[in-house]
Amino acid sequence: METLEKIVSLCKRRGFIYPGSEIYGGLAGTWDYGPVGVLLKNNIKNQWWKEMVQLRNDIVGLDADILMNPRAWEASGHVEAFTDPLVECKICHQRFRADKAEEIEAHEKSHGQDKVEWTEPKKFNLLVKAYLGVVEGEQLEVYLRGEITNGVQVNFKNVVDSTRIKMPFGIAQMGKAFRNEITPGNFTFRSKEFEQMEVQYFIKPDETEGKKWFEYWKQNRMDWYVKMGMRKEKLRFRDHEDQERAHYARMATDIQYEAPWGWDEFMGIHHRGDWDQRRHQEFSGQNLKYQDPETHEEYTPWDIETSAGVDRSMLFFLIDAYTEEEKRTVLKLHPLLAPYKVAVFPLLANKPELVAQAKAIYDDLKNNFMTAWDARGNIGKRYYAQDEIGTPWCVTVDFQTLEDKTITVRDRDTAKQERLPIDKLKDYFDNKLSL
């Protein structure tokens, strides 16, 4: 089995990710996160938020609505230009993105000897429409946001007016986005509904400043993924050519991961210039300019954006962590990202004194750490199950525990065990997680 297939299967088996509405035959490009998957996804988002908002004094958070006045999407250029080039195979009428050479090639191969002819590429808008209102025929056509950026852009002035934040500063946001993708695929990589985590970083309009902050955010984001455990050699930057840049971008660079299907993007850094702020001023007729509190200079700021997919980040964290050893499969996730930090077991499930002591430890630890409980099967099977979901430490209560109040802690990556007093456990995990 190929690596991606193995990961898809592990994700389903262990409760990371299920196909969307599976009992009805599914819905292409939609995925549901299970009990373990939602923990991993939340940990990625929480670590990102901590790094971007909690630990910085130049970035504040925002949570804008998905639904917006449709004029906002005209202003941002999405109604006109948020498109992919679509071509149709004249033999089987399947539709593809003309700019995805590998997918076109694979499809041509699937027709064997038959020569495939394609329709001329036409622009296909990715915005997903929805309808608001209770009277048929009088409903308002709105869009499910195609990127989360617009809610930040329209609130730029609200944030400036309601905080003391000064330029340069950023606004961070996470949330769902929707795209009518022509060819969803590669598991969650290209979905119709997905989450993004973005910072719009506003700066003074100046070429040198723009380049400086663009380079700064490129390196900052690359470093974060390495800090969160991704292998450096699997990551690289890829600058966009002029003709492939999104309609709003003056400069754009992707951070790519070497996926099982080749190098592919999981986040982008975009120099949006004054595109959004200028257009929202033109379309709304409002003055959204920033006024420097000291010099009183007024200007429309430039925006350097970092935009990451939560689902793609999670997929690449999973792929990067997936390790097959002779006798086990291990997800070597960074402990801060691991769904559970600790699992607690009684050595034997049929010895009430062991179970009671283990339960007491479990009840205590779960106040501080996401803690799993397992008393099924033998200890080897429990280790195996925890390794597969990436739990960094397993605590076992055995007969010695009843005598001297010590337990064993088994490390996921080395499989080595050490004995510790029960009352040192919390400090032990705190120390490990603060590295």
Least separation in angstroms between residue 298's CB and ligand GAP is: 26
* Interface with ligand GAP (CB under 6 A), residue from 196, 371, 391, 396: 196
To ligand GAP, the closest distance from the beta carbon of 308 in angstroms equals 6
Q: What is the DSSP string of 272-324?
A: EETHHHHHHHHHH-----EE-TTT--EEPPEEEEEEEEHHHHHHHHHHHHEEE
Tokens of 52: 């971007």
Residue 190 near ligand GAP by CB under 6 A: yes
- Out of 170, 273, 309, 339, the only residue in the binding site for ligand GAP (CB under 6 A) is 309
Least distance (Å) between residue 284 CB and ligand GAP: 20
Binding of ligand GAP at residue 268 (CB under 6 A)?
Answer: yes
CB 269 within 8 A of CB 306: yes
Instruction: State which of residues 265, 349, 406, 433 lies at the interface with ligand GAP (CB under 6 A).
Output: 265
Single residue of 264, 276, 303, 311 touching ligand GAP by CB under 6 A: 311
Q: Pull the structure tokens for residue 241.
A: 């050519």
Distance between the two ends of the chain, CA-based, in angstroms?
A: 36
> What span, in angstroms and rounded, lies between the C-alpha atoms of 56 and 278?
27
Q: Does the footprint of ligand GAP cover residue 100 (CB under 6 A)?
A: no
The residue whose Cβ lies closest to ligand GAP is: 309
Q: Tell me how far apart the alpha carbons of residues 73 and 153 are, in angstroms, rounded to a whole number.
A: 11
Residue 252: CB atoms within 10 A of its CB come to 22
Angle (CA) 35 431 197, round 5°: 45
Residues that bind ligand GAP (rule: CB under 6 A) add up to a total of: 20
Query: Please, which residue, 196 or 300, has the CB nearer to ligand GAP?
Result: 196
Decide: is 149 part of the binding site for ligand GAP (CB under 6 A).
Answer: yes
- Binding to ligand GAP by CB under 6 A, coded x per residue (else -) over 129-148, reads ------------------x-
- Our finding on whether 78 is near ligand GAP (CB under 6 A) is no
At residue 120, the 3 state secondary structure works out as coil
Question: Is residue 312 close enough to count as binding ligand GAP by CB under 6 A?
Answer: yes
Rounded Cα–Cα distance for residues 324 and 6 (Å): 10
Residue 181 interacts with ligand GAP (CB under 6 A)?
yes
Stretch that binds ligand GAP, among 33-41, 262-270, 399-407, 416-424 (CB under 6 A): 262-270
Stretch that binds ligand GAP, among 111-119, 191-199, 217-225, 364-372 (CB under 6 A): 191-199
Does 179 help bind ligand GAP (rule: CB under 6 A)? Answer: yes
The residues, ordered by sequence, that sit 6+ positions from 367 with a Cβ below 8 Å of its Cβ are none
Dist CA 350 CA 256 (whole Å) = 50
- 392 part of the interface to ligand GAP, by CB under 6 A: no
- Residue 256 near residue 238 (C-beta atoms within 8 A): yes
Residues that bind ligand GAP (CB under 6 A): 147, 149, 179, 181, 190-191, 194, 196, 198, 265-268, 270, 305, 307-309, 311-312
